[in-house]
A and B are shown apart, each in its own frame.
Chain A
Amino acid sequence: MSDATQNGPMLAADGTPLKRSLARSLRNQKLRALALISPLLIFVLLSFIFPIASMLFRSVENEIVGNVLPQSKVQLEAWDGQSDVPAPLYRAMYYDMFAAAEAKRHTRLGTRLNYEVSGMSSLFRQSGRKLDKPGKDLLKDFKKLDAAWAKGGAIYALMAGDPADARDTALAATKRAEISAMVGETIPASFDFAPSARVSAMLPATADAFMAYAAFEGGIDGKNLAKGKPWETVFVALAEDLQTADATGYNGPHADLLAQAIAAKDSIAAPDYGAIFAKIDKDWAKASTWQTIKTHSPTFTNGYFLNAIDMRRTAEGAAWQPEDKQILLTLFGRTLIMSLIITGSCILLGYPVAYILANLPMRTSNLLMILVLLPFWTSLLVRTSAWKVMLQQQGVINDVLVWLGLVADEARLVMINNELGTIIAMTHILLPFMILPMYSVMQTIPPSYVRAAKSLGATNWTTFWRVYFPQSVPGIGAGSILVFILAIGYYITPEIVGGTKGVFISNRIAYHISSSLNWGLAAALGTILLAVVLILYWAYDKIVGIDNVKLG
């Protein structure tokens, strides 16, 4: 009481103001709780939430075009897509494709574009093989001038210039970044080649092409540049540079060779990149091929999401897939409908069981509960294989029906590898998830309400429908959402008993991950599925509360 009579703040036993002391103890409590939670929280965030988030990111990520064709991407953005393909685009594409072919990344890009337009994969694969030719022809011309051009170290010596020269580090850095983005590996710092700035200014295209070669062969593969033969692109670039180069006053290595080549520039044809592509494949002469690449070149794309709903990204915007390729919306529809049917049959079968379990004497209901819990605890694979045994044409159900004569031996029912098989097996597998929440709700309904209704003169049906049933609805809701969430993402059971007609969207996701390797589409499908599940989860949390989930 003495504290209260003083004018100052109320004090705790140790003399600090009570308010501060309480706040400190509250903070300590919070910190202690967080300290207990944090190891698990970090574990789940790192090894679950983060992987899923990065998987979702894959559904919009489209870095491959920019990584494999970095210079072309810039040119593609400049092109309007309507007019003729501009010369700089052909040029950029030639050098990009060549580097990609050397690093064996062009096939990956081809596969990626093949998801959108079929035929792209083989176009890229074949083009990669034929890109050497123009450079080889030019090398022959150079050899005619002087055999020294064909020697491994000649170009290297020319590019390296005088050891005393300043280095073109900007070009080196750009190319290193491009090559390492394309290959997906970092170039070690020990690789430090950069062309001489003087030579680079004189022969810009050659320096560019050579640096790409150097970054890949020297930086990634670790080859000795001074001995290796450069890529054919270097000679194509050199032929281009010769037309405009001015080597007067240059006195670095191979200055004489260069001067001789410039003097003879009329005998070395300047490369026509458009013609190179026209010769490789007639598809390159079509604007549509270039439009396809342009359409899919942005770093972020909605293409996978459009694919996931049977549409595709075209130069004119989103359009429907051709009829024969429209399967995913049907599959989504089937997944939803079959999950609804499974949920419905679980309600139908689960309600009577939950009712009888909740209303029988405890001893009997505990015994019967075992019949519900045993399937719940039995391995999913066991139950699925059991249904395979039951439903086959030579299976137990057909055998019994034939034995009883309800079905003729030659007209055995087809119950597996179709929708029916999936529905029966999944209803059985998910039934405990419906019964258990229903049972726990029904247990709480006081029997006196039913008795009161009856004593007031209600018939059995009215009592059930007006008094008992409304009180059991929360159990139906909880069980339904749980069963629906589980059903919509099921994979194993449809895969085994579903055949081709009874599969779900999950099976398609698995197919795209492990067989067709279209990971972007798999991620987009997964994102849509996850969104549906999260909405339902949110509804579940609102209706039941996630804290109220009980097991067993």
Chain B
Amino acid sequence: MGFITSNFRPTKGFVFAMMAAAGAFLGMLVGLANNQLIGGIAVLAAYSAVLGGGVFYMAPHKRLGQAVIFAATLALGYVTMAGGGAVLGLIYGAFLAWFAYWIGTGEYRTSLLPYLTPGQVLWHYSFRLICASIFIFLITPILVVLPLSFNAEDFFTFTPEMLRLDPEGYSLKHYRDFFTNNEWQRSFQNSLIIAPIATIISVSLGTLAAIGLSQSHVPGRRAIMAILISPMIVPLIISATGMFFFYSQIGNILEDSLGFNKDFVGYVKVILAHAVLGVPFVIITVTATLVGFDRSLTRAAANMGADPVTTFFRVQMPLILPGVISGGLFAFITSFDEVVVVLFVGSASQKTLPWQMFTGLREQISPTILAVATILVVISIGLLTTVELLRRRSERLRGMSPG
């Protein structure tokens, strides 16, 4: 048995069989939809085999052959099933045109090791297919929300107008609702007040503690670490329950004995609760950054006469800043995204965006939630990009290869 070399060509039988298999798969779906399973499979398998295989062997010019397959399939889809069929024909035509030449020319083998058996090649591509479907599972729910938020109707589903790509079916009314409705705006503002302040508290205290923890001699480091990480480990519902009792007592003291304004006390309670929840993220990211920190730099600074504060701000801080910022982003998203604790600790005037969404999902379902969801997805893409850039910068600063 010899190695398969780069001028490998699959047999004609194989090419026709693969085309027929692709057609049969689509035929199964279409056939099921029209209650003609056998007929659907047979017709589409035959069509794909004849067209895909036939055009490939008769048209040596790749672009021309692909155009023929694409056009023919699109036309077939449009003729047989009109609107929806055209979309299906478009997709399948593009697929078949690519697939015929990918299989026929033997291109599917070129990127693989030449000595693989056909079974191994099949497994290679099946595995890719499995992974692709898992990635689709991961990303579809997020993508589905985006077009639905432009729904012109008050439904959570795709209307026929939307499927026909009719502009009538789309509108910005849910976004308008979000930006004009008092309740949504108020909750958005509350989120924008609470999350940044909670982040500042957890970042400033957390960074100091992380620097302390990374010193060489810390008595009881494991116990301290366990305590500081615990807000992340303890289930939120338990944290929320504990804080509910605790902060209602604190709130009473602040309001009755010290005479603070009720709203102000409410914000203080929620902010402190969120700050605690953000602490573990800051600790983890900053200690991870400090692990790679070169201690001789601070010694050098001290050697040249800098006092500890100057050393911290001029030498250490710039180097660990990426870690601090990404810890801060984690703390921010924790607070910005948090429902359970604010539900228990806060009162109606501290209603945050997630809280509003939660009540919306439970009680009066409105597609405004999807508009908000889309905005939040855009925000999270921004955050993700920032964190990723920071991580690379941090690794570059520490002289690691970007990974």
Given contacts A40-B206, A353-B134, A489-B235, contact A403 B284 (CB under 8 A): no
In the complex, per-residue mask of B113-157: 1 if CB is within 8 Å of any chain A CB, else 0 = 000000010010001101100110111111011001000000111
Q: Which B residues lie within 8 Å of A552 (CB)?
A: 326, 330, 387-388, 391
Taking a contact as CB atoms under 8 Å apart, the answer to whether B242 and A379 are in contact is: no
Taking a contact as CB atoms under 8 Å apart, the answer to whether A371 and B135 are in contact is: yes
Q: Chain B's nearest CB lies how many Å from the CB of A239?
A: 41
Q: Which A residues lie within 8 Å of B236 (CB)?
A: 489, 491
Q: Which A residues lie within 8 Å of B285 (CB)?
A: 551
Which of B127, B142, B383 contacts A382, CB < 8 Å? B142
Segment at the A interface, from B15-23, B61-69, B97-105, B214-222: B214-222
Given contacts A55-B242, A387-B141, contact A36 B380 (CB under 8 A): no
Q: Chain A's nearest CB lies how many Å from the CB of B391?
A: 7
Main secondary structure of the interface of B (DSSP, over half): helix
Given contacts A385-B373, A390-B141, A460-B120, contact A40 B381 (CB under 8 A): no
Which of B142, B224, B369 contacts A375, CB < 8 Å? B142
Q: Chain B's nearest CB lies how many Å from the CB of A39?
A: 5
Highest count of chain B CB atoms <10 Å: which of A41, A55, A431: A55
Taking a contact as CB atoms under 8 Å apart, the answer to whether B141 and A386 are in contact is: yes
Is A259 in the interface zone, CB < 8 Å from B?
no
Q: Which B residues lie within 8 Å of A519 (CB)?
A: 245
Taking a contact as CB atoms under 8 Å apart, the answer to whether B208 and A55 are in contact is: no
Segment at the A interface, from B51-59, B298-306, B337-345: B337-345
Question: How many chain B residues touch the partner (CB < 8 A)?
Answer: 97
Which residue of chain A has the shortest Cβ distance to B291 in the bound complex?
Answer: A547
Q: Which A residues lie within 8 Å of B189 (CB)?
A: none
Is B357 in the interface zone, CB < 8 Å from A?
yes
Q: Which A residues lie within 8 Å of B215 (CB)?
A: 29, 32-33, 36
Taking a contact as CB atoms under 8 Å apart, the answer to whether B156 and A389 are in contact is: yes
Is B241 in the interface zone, CB < 8 Å from A?
yes
State the CA gap A533–B288 with chains docked (Å). 24
Taking a contact as CB atoms under 8 Å apart, the answer to whether B131 and A353 are in contact is: yes
Taking a contact as CB atoms under 8 Å apart, the answer to whether B373 and A509 are in contact is: no
Which of A399, A460, A514 contacts B157, CB < 8 Å? A399
Segment at the A interface, from B167-175, B178-186, B271-279: B271-279
State the CA gap A26–B288 with chains docked (Å). 24
In the complex, per-residue mask of B374-403: 1 if CB is within 8 Å of any chain A CB, else 0 = 001100110110011001000000000001
Which residue of chain A has the shortest Cβ distance to B385 in the bound complex?
Answer: A370
Interface residues of A in 502-552 (CB under 8 A from B): 506, 509-510, 513-514, 519, 522-523, 526, 529-530, 533-534, 537, 541, 546-547, 549-552
Which residue of chain B has the shortest Cβ distance to A386 in the bound complex?
Answer: B141
Segment at the A interface, from B30-38, B42-50, B313-321: B30-38
Is B287 in the interface zone, CB < 8 Å from A?
yes
Q: Chain B's nearest CB lies how many Å from the CB of A51?
A: 3
Q: Chain B's nearest CB lies how many Å from the CB of A528?
A: 10
Given contacts A35-B212, A374-B139, contact A492 B234 (CB under 8 A): no
Is A294 in the interface zone, CB < 8 Å from B?
no
Segment at the A interface, from B1-9, B225-233, B258-266: B225-233
Main secondary structure of the interface of A (DSSP, over half): helix
Given contacts A29-B217, A51-B245, A552-B326, contact A384 B148 (CB under 8 A): no
Taking a contact as CB atoms under 8 Å apart, the answer to whether A30 and B272 are in contact is: no
State the CA gap A510–B344 with chains docked (Å). 9
State the CA gap A409–B220 with chains docked (Å). 64
Taking a contact as CB atoms under 8 Å apart, the answer to whether B235 and A488 are in contact is: yes
Q: Which A residues lie within 8 Å of B71 (CB)?
A: none
Taking a contact as CB atoms under 8 Å apart, the answer to whether B134 and A352 are in contact is: yes
Is A327 in the interface zone, CB < 8 Å from B?
no
Taking a contact as CB atoms under 8 Å apart, the answer to whether A396 and B380 are in contact is: no
Which of B206, B234, B279, B357 contacts A530, CB < 8 Å? B234
Given contacts A389-B370, A526-B237, contact A40 B209 (CB under 8 A): yes
Taking a contact as CB atoms under 8 Å apart, the answer to whether B34 and A526 are in contact is: no
Q: Which A residues lie within 8 Å of B35 (CB)?
A: 405
Q: Which A residues lie within 8 Å of B209 (CB)?
A: 36-37, 39-41
In the complex, per-residue mask of B192-207: 1 if CB is within 8 Å of any chain A CB, else 0 = 0000000000000110
Q: Which B residues lie within 8 Å of A112 (CB)?
A: none
State the CA gap A44–B330 with chains docked (Å). 18
Taking a contact as CB atoms under 8 Å apart, the answer to whether A34 and B212 are in contact is: yes
Q: Chain A's nearest CB lies how many Å from the CB of B84?
A: 8
Taking a contact as CB atoms under 8 Å apart, the answer to whether A353 and B135 are in contact is: yes
Which residue of chain B has the shortest Cβ distance to A370 in the bound complex?
Answer: B384
Q: Which B residues lie within 8 Å of A377 (CB)?
A: 333, 380-381, 383-384, 387
Q: Which A residues lie within 8 Å of B339 (CB)?
A: 380-381, 492
State the CA gap A404–B34 with chains docked (Å). 8
Is B358 in the interface zone, CB < 8 Å from A?
yes
Given contacts A30-B218, A405-B34, A546-B226, contact A392 B141 (CB under 8 A): no
Q: Which B residues lie within 8 Å of A349 (CB)?
A: 134, 137
Q: Which B residues lie within 8 Å of A34 (CB)?
A: 212, 218-219
Is A296 in the interface zone, CB < 8 Å from B?
no
Taking a contact as CB atoms under 8 Å apart, the answer to whether A396 and B157 are in contact is: yes
Which of B231, B243, B361 contacts A381, CB < 8 Å? B361
Q: Which B residues lie within 8 Å of A39 (CB)?
A: 205, 208-209
Q: Chain A's nearest CB lies how many Å from the CB of B380?
A: 4
Taking a contact as CB atoms under 8 Å apart, the answer to whether B276 and A44 are in contact is: yes
Which of A41, A372, A541, A551 contacts B284, CB < 8 Å? A551
Q: Chain B's nearest CB lies how many Å from the CB of A282?
A: 38
Q: Chain B's nearest CB lies how many Å from the CB of A374?
A: 6
Taking a contact as CB atoms under 8 Å apart, the answer to whether A40 and B369 are in contact is: no
Is A170 in the interface zone, CB < 8 Å from B?
no
Q: Chain B's nearest CB lies how many Å from the CB of A305?
A: 16
State the CA gap A362–B237 with chains docked (Å). 39
Taking a contact as CB atoms under 8 Å apart, the answer to whether B238 and A55 are in contact is: yes
Q: Chain B's nearest CB lies how many Å from the CB of A309?
A: 18
Taking a contact as CB atoms under 8 Å apart, the answer to whether B376 and A379 are in contact is: yes
Q: Chain B's nearest CB lies how many Å from the CB of A409?
A: 12
Q: Which A residues lie within 8 Å of B208 (CB)?
A: 36-37, 39-40
Taking a contact as CB atoms under 8 Å apart, the answer to whether B235 and A529 are in contact is: yes
Sample (15) of A-B pairs whose CB atoms are under 8 Å apart: A34-B212, A36-B209, A51-B242, A362-B403, A377-B333, A377-B380, A379-B333, A381-B339, A381-B376, A395-B157, A485-B235, A491-B235, A526-B238, A547-B225, A549-B229
Q: Closest 8 interchain pairs by CB? A: A489-B235, A36-B212, A405-B33, A51-B246, A386-B141, A51-B242, A40-B209, A55-B242
Known: A48-B231, A373-B388. 4 other contacts (CB 8 A): A55-B242, A378-B142, A523-B241, A552-B330
